[in-house]
A and B are shown apart, each in its own frame.
Chain A
Amino acid sequence: MKTTFSAADRKGWMSLLATADEARLTELWQGCGIDPVCEWLRPPEAGGVMVRGRMGGTGAPFNLGEMTVTRCAVSLDDGTVGHGYVQGRSKAKAAMAAKIDALMQTGAAAGVRKAVLEPLAEERQAKTSARAAKAAATKVEFFTMVRGED
């Protein structure tokens, strides 16, 4: 059974999976208790993506250097296609990402969202805020010394 979802929604969960910590993703995925039968459309392969920056932060693009990425694609029994694109070289992580991407397009979406994606999103948010809180503590609070009046 297919469900409807927007491209923005799909972009959201694929992005979350791309940066997820592998150990944590494995734990959540196993806890989810679903492991659908699927067929490889593209077995996991590691490769590089050239990261670009912009001159002066806003100008014309230039090539900064590569990063490792692993990708794969699976097809569920009902023909639903899932893609995994994850940072790093873990084939297992790419496979989980592709299966989750496929399931998120089916009736299992709500369950997977609750069991895997929501905890991942919360933890990512918590990690970002924890760093931002430490950075905030190193912000300089300038004060002007009172000059002598006479």
Chain B
Amino acid sequence: MSLETPNAVYAGGFSNPPVAAAHAFRAAMNAMARPGEVQDITGAAPPDGISVAAGSLLLTLCDPETGVYLAPGTDSGALRGWLAFHTGAPVVPAEQADFALGSWEALMPLDRFRIGTPEYPDRSATLIVDTPGYYGTNAVLSGPGIKETARMQLPELTAFQNNAALYPLGVDFFFTSGSLVAALPRSTGITREA
């Protein structure tokens, strides 16, 4: 009668929400403050197909007032139920999303997400890109939060360079894999690794 498959939907929240959310928030904040640096983030056990890191970000950042876009391949009844029970966040189209979750390919095209307004650049989307893993690097990062340069693996470079060119508007990115998270805010400059 309701959308429940209890184990998938009701389990897997933070076991001690105030503490776990504070730890996860700190990891997310440090990731954004130090672009490209990988942080541990745990606490959530989301439905199959979603990384622990992505699930922990959703539990930490989403509530009934943040619209979430679930890209094809990620969207499922189990994930919708889990998100509804643990965060109350509504699932919305990409154009209205505060947060978006999916693989890089499934999240494309990028230009449908909100980039904020000159008065309120914060009214923009944060994309959680769930990736198979971290291996190698292809991009050199510079800007706020980076002493000289940092390196990370990006699915492509042009899209991120175009996004950075919109600053102070634009979207921000988390990259999640397993229980690891790294971030790329719009303020970071990106060049191809030599």
- A: which residues have CB within 8 A of B? 5-7, 10, 41-42, 45, 73, 75, 79, 81
B11 at the interface (CB under 8 A from A): yes
Query: Which residues from A are CB-within-8-Å of B17?
Result: 45
Dominant SS at the B interface? helix
**A73–B1 touching, CB < 8 Å:** no
Query: How far apart are A105's CB and chain B's nearest CB, in angstroms?
Result: 9
In the complex, A73 Cα to B9 Cα: how many Å?
12
Known: A42-B86, A81-B4. 6 other contacts (CB 8 A): A6-B1, A10-B1, A41-B13, A42-B13, A73-B10, A73-B85
Query: Which residues from A are CB-within-8-Å of B86?
Result: 42
In the complex, A32 Cα to B1 Cα: how many Å?
27
Known: A42-B13, A73-B85. A7 touches B6 (CB 8 A): no
Query: How far apart are A14's CB and chain B's nearest CB, in angstroms?
Result: 12
In the complex, A5 Cα to B1 Cα: how many Å?
9
Query: Which residues from B are CB-within-8-Å of A5?
Result: 1
Known: A42-B85, A73-B85. A81 touches B10 (CB 8 A): yes
Query: How far apart are A52's CB and chain B's nearest CB, in angstroms?
Result: 13
**B11–A41 touching, CB < 8 Å:** yes
- B: which residues have CB within 8 A of A? 1, 4, 6, 10-11, 13, 17, 85-86
Query: Which residues from A are CB-within-8-Å of B13?
Result: 41-42
Known: A7-B1, A41-B11, A42-B13. A79 touches B85 (CB 8 A): no
Query: How far apart are B7's CB and chain A's nearest CB, in angstroms?
Result: 8
**A81–B1 touching, CB < 8 Å:** no
**B1–A75 touching, CB < 8 Å:** no
**B85–A75 touching, CB < 8 Å:** no
**B1–A41 touching, CB < 8 Å:** no
Query: Which residues from A are CB-within-8-Å of B6?
Result: 41, 75, 79, 81
Query: How far apart are B88's CB and chain A's nearest CB, in angstroms?
Result: 10
Closest 5 CB pairs of A and B: A41-B10, A81-B6, A79-B6, A7-B1, A81-B10
| Residue in B closest to A79 when the chains form the complex, CB atoms | B6
Query: Which residues from A are CB-within-8-Å of B85?
Result: 41-42, 73
In the complex, A6 Cα to B2 Cα: how many Å?
11
Query: How far apart are A21's CB and chain B's nearest CB, in angstroms?
Result: 27
Query: Which residues from A are CB-within-8-Å of B10?
Result: 41-42, 73, 75, 81
Query: Which residues from B are CB-within-8-Å of A45?
Result: 17
Query: How far apart are A11's CB and chain B's nearest CB, in angstroms?
Result: 11
Query: Which residues from B are CB-within-8-Å of A7?
Result: 1
In the complex, A5 Cα to B11 Cα: how many Å?
24
Query: How far apart are B43's CB and chain A's nearest CB, in angstroms?
Result: 15
| Residue in A closest to B16 when the chains form the complex, CB atoms | A43
| Residue in B closest to A4 when the chains form the complex, CB atoms | B1
In the complex, A6 Cα to B1 Cα: how many Å?
8
Query: How far apart are A66's CB and chain B's nearest CB, in angstroms?
Result: 13
Looking at A41, A75, A79, the one whose CB has the most chain B CB atoms below 10 A away is A41
